[in-house]
């Protein structure tokens, strides 16, 4: 654990609390994203100017790693004390009462469900962790004995009870005369640790002391033990493993979607994870659950461990397949089948478990962690950020599982207890809290090719506002990366940039592979790279110009279509292919035959794609955009003006004149709106179709 640093911890209570929180939050073995909490009891003026005894406690929806002063909720301690006297309270009543205890209801975040724990412990500073070391002791059949053996009376023990009001009630009963004297901390069975102190530093040092002792005990028990048994599957070599992952992630994502869970996937294939999941007994131990109740919400009630068909993994390894894009072929096929079958069985078992425990309306996100030995742990989230949180929680769970197995035996809640937690409305609410805007493209992954400028850029921004996850591909990697940074600043983990020259089919394939590894699949392709035409008469058209135009406007689209269709067919959840075709596909442009012919070839190709893929729910449409105000169009205007001996303004005036809408130019955002409609579910019944944006009578397709 990180040592306390006097210089960094400022003097006032709230600064000390922030410092304490950030120290704890920085260590994923102590708390996982969003989990754990801290508090201080202090005297401060309320809105009326009266100095009162208050509790400042981490608010709901905040994270210890990043929390600042405004992340804490301030509550009247005397009112909170009345809560403990209540015989029974529903969740809603408890939350309503806690809101009524707030000093600054308009300013502070809502109190978390663990607030009563902090108000009931009569110490100034309190820190609560879901740390691996304590849970290695407490997720066992004889947790109390282990705690007593290590700590004697210095650490109190509380048997499992559901967090929230029941936990508060039990705590109040047990400690009605104050907690045991000499105790510096409390282990809550199958939940975590709370430590306290008069100062933030004392609280932290006690926490550290308890955790380090627990760690040493677990380490001693684990020495020379291979807790999950001998290795059953050898992890694949890096390149082969990633190829295989790119081939199977869309299968997993598609199966989840068909069972009602539209998710983005994250693959954890770190060395530590791979080692743990390849062991013989891993599946058996993992089936017992996760490490702390909150992880049920984040990583699911239990993971699905797929038994990989040995020949598939073995054959891949023996063949020594490198980083080729063919990994999804024959080798992956048995694994695809094994995954589909295992997911079907898991879903049926889950429905039975939910029903047995009184839940007739199963939650959609019933499965968040899928383990494929040899490949990695695949976590599902409504967005990539949630999938990352699931992965962090599951990594900690794997460590606690190993620790508990070393100490005694890993054991979590009964099915009934786990289900109660899983369906607890206050926990479910946390999922909703994390949600951004629910736009048309929420939980969809889109790849935009030619994303760094013009129409591609405007479309990326529009898709991002609609909630999409985005892969921004461009020859100009810096431009695409800057765009991704901007999007991620507003909505973290939504966009990433990849460089690709569309003239190189392998580069296009690699961009798709990266996209799948990043999000688990692809739902939308928007193809919009452009290269400005060199103007030549057909009598003098150089072969090089034809080559250049065909490479970018046609062959790149062929490669992108091939890659997108493969992924979409594997997902079996349909898809949207959208292309920027331009007016030139329909109307001959003076001395721009190469450009127009490449676009016309694209249009015909898209019609073929629409007709072949429609039966799989994949639509293919194109946009006939004209006079869109992009750098490429401005360059063309300059060239045309020169050709005609006009100023650029005169040329633009001429364009306005011939446009039905009398517009010289159309903003790229107008094309982005059309692309959004084509990318969304609203266009499900439209395929092989063109939407005209800009242009005029002359540009109407015929």
- 66 token code pair: 């990043």
Residue number, 192 or 575, with CB nearest to Zn ion: 192
Residue number, 292 or 580, with CB nearest to Zn ion: 292
Show the binding pattern over residues 189-218: x = contacts Zn ion (CB under 5 A), - = does not.
---x--------------------------
Quick check: 407 and 218 in contact, CB under 8 A? Answer: yes
Longest dimension (CA), the chain: 100
List the Cα angle 354/356/357 in 5-degree steps: 65
Residue number, 285 or 297, with CB nearest to Zn ion: 297
Residue number, 192 or 328, with CB nearest to Zn ion: 192
Quote the least distance from Cβ 129 to Zn ion, whole Å. 8
Among residues 666, 657, 691, 686, the alpha carbon closest in space to that of 585 is found at: 691
Quote the least distance from Cβ 189 to Zn ion, whole Å. 12
Please state the length of the chain.
702
Residue number, 196 or 346, with CB nearest to Zn ion: 196
Residue nearest Zn ion by beta-carbon distance: 192
Quote the least distance from Cβ 385 to Zn ion, whole Å. 21
* CA dist., res. 381 & res. 195, Å (int): 32
Quote the least distance from Cβ 182 to Zn ion, whole Å. 24
Quote the least distance from Cβ 178 to Zn ion, whole Å. 22
Quote the least distance from Cβ 246 to Zn ion, whole Å. 37
Residue number, 25 or 529, with CB nearest to Zn ion: 25
Which region among 72-80, 186-194, 366-374, 380-388 touches Zn ion (by CB under 5 A)? Answer: 186-194
* CA dist., res. 654 & res. 535, Å (int): 19
Residue number, 190 or 462, with CB nearest to Zn ion: 190
Quick check: 470 and 514 in contact, CB under 8 A? Answer: no
At a CB cut-off of 8 Å and minimum separation 6, what does 490 contact? 464
**Residue 575: HSE in the Cβ half-sphere, 13 Å Cα cutoff:** 31
Quote the least distance from Cβ 435 to Zn ion, whole Å. 22
Among residues 127, 117, 114, the alpha carbon closest in space to that of 172 is found at: 117
Quote the least distance from Cβ 333 to Zn ion, whole Å. 44
List strands edge to edge, sheet with 155-158.
72-76, 51-58, 37-45, 125-129, 192-197, 185-188, 155-158
Residue number, 164 or 192, with CB nearest to Zn ion: 192
Residues pairing with 690 in the sheet? 622
Quote the least distance from Cβ 27 to Zn ion, whole Å. 16
Collapsing DSSP states into helix, strand and coil, what is residue 376? strand
Quick check: 441 and 435 in contact, CB under 8 A? Answer: no
Q: What are phi and psi of 21, to 5 degrees?
A: -65, -45
Q: Binders of Zn ion: how many residues, by CB under 5 A?
A: 1
Residue number, 168 or 511, with CB nearest to Zn ion: 168
Residue number, 167 or 354, with CB nearest to Zn ion: 167
Collapsing DSSP states into helix, strand and coil, what is residue 26? coil
Quick check: 577 and 566 in contact, CB under 8 A? Answer: no
In terms of Cβ atoms closer than 10 Å to its own Cβ (0-12, 13-18, 19+), residue 27 is middle
* CA dist., res. 480 & res. 458, Å (int): 12
Quote the least distance from Cβ 294 to Zn ion, whole Å. 6
Say if strands 125-129 and 37-45 run parallel, antiparallel, or are unpaired: antiparallel
Residues near Zn ion (CB under 5 A) are: 192
């Amino acid at each position: 654990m990180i040592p306390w640093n006097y210089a960094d911890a400022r003097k006032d209570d709230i600064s000390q609390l922030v410092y304490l929180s950030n120290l704890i939050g920085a260590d994923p073995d102590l708390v996982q994203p969003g989990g754990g909490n801290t508090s201080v009891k202090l005297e401060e003026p309320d809105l009326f100017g009266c100095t009162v005894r208050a509790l400042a406690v981490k608010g709901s929806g905040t994270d210890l790693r990043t929390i600042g002063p405004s992340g804490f909720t301030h509550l009247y301690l005397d009112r909170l004390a009345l809560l403990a006297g209540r015989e029974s309270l529903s969740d809603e009543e408890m939350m309503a009462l806690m809101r009524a205890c707030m000093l600054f209801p308009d300013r502070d975040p809502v109190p978390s469900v663990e607030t009563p724990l902090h108000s009931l412990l009569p110490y100034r500073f309190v820190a609560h962790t879901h740390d691996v070391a304590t849970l290695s002791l407490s997720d066992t059949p004889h947790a109390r004995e282990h705690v007593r053996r290590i700590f004697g009376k210095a650490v109190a023990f509380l048997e499992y009870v559901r967090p929230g009001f029941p936990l508060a009630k039990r705590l109040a009963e047990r400690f009605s005369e104050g907690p045991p004297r000499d105790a510096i901390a409390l282990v809550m069975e199958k939940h975590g640790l709370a430590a306290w102190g008069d100062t933030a530093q004392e609280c932290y040092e006690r926490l550290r002391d308890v955790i380090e002792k627990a760690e040493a005990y677990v380490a001693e028990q684990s020495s020379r033990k291979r807790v999950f048994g001998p290795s059953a599957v050898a992890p694949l070599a890096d390149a082969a493993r990633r190829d295989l992952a790119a081939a199977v992630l869309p299968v997993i994502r598609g199966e989840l979607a068909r069972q009602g869970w539209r998710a983005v996937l994250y693959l954890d294939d770190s060395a530590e994870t791979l080692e743990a999941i390849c062991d013989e007994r891993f599946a058996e131990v993992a089936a017992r659950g996760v490490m702390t109740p909150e992880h049920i919400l984040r990583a699911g009630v239990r993971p699905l461990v797929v038994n990989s068909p040995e020949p598939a993994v073995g054959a891949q390894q023996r063949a020594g397949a490198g980083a080729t894009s063919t990994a999804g072929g024959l080798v992956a096929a048995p694994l695809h089948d094994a995954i589909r079958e295992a997911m079907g069985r898991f879903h049926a078992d889950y429905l039975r478990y939910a029903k047995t425990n009184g839940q007739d309306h199963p939650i959609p996100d019933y499965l968040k962690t899928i383990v494929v030995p040899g490949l990695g742990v695949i976590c599902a989230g409504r967005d990539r950020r949630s999938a990352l949180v699931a992965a962090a929680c599951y990594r900690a769970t794997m460590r606690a599982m190993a620790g508990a197995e070393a100490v005694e035996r890993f054991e979590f809640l009964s099915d009934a207890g786990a289900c109660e937690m899983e369906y607890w409305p206050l926990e479910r609410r946390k999922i909703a809290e994390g949600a951004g805007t629910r736009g048309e493209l929420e939980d969809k992954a889109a790849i935009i090719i030619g994303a760094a400028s013009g129409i591609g850029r405007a479309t990326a921004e529009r898709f991002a506002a609609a909630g999409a996850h985005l892969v921004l591909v461009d020859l100009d990697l810096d431009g695409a990366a800057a765009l991704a940074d901007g999007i991620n600043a507003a909505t973290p983990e939504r966009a990433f940039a990849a460089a690709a020259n569309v003239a190189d089919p392998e580069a296009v394939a690699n961009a798709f592979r990266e996209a799948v590894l990043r999000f688990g699949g692809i739902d939308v392709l928007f193809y919009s790279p452009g290269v400005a035409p060199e103007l030549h008469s057909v009598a003098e058209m150089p072969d090089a110009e034809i080559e250049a135009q065909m490479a970018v406007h046609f062959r790149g689209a062929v490669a992108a279509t091939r890659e997108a269709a493969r992924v979409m067919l594997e997902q079996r959840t349909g898809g949207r292919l959208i292309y920027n075709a331009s007016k030139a596909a329909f109307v001959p442009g003076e001395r721009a035959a190469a450009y127009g012919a490449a676009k016309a070839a694209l249009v015909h190709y898209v019609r073929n794609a629409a007709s072949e893929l429609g039966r799989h729910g994949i639509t293919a449409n194109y946009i006939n955009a004209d006079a869109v105000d992009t750098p490429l169009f401005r360059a063309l205007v300059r060239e045309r003006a020169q050709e005609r001996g006009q100023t650029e303004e005169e040329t633009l005036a001429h364009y306005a004149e011939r446009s039905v809408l009398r517009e010289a130019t159309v903003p790229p955002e107008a094309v982005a709106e059309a692309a959004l409609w084509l990318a969304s579910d609203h266009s499900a019944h439209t395929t092989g179709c063109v939407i005209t944006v800009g242009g005029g009578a002359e540009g109407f397709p015929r």
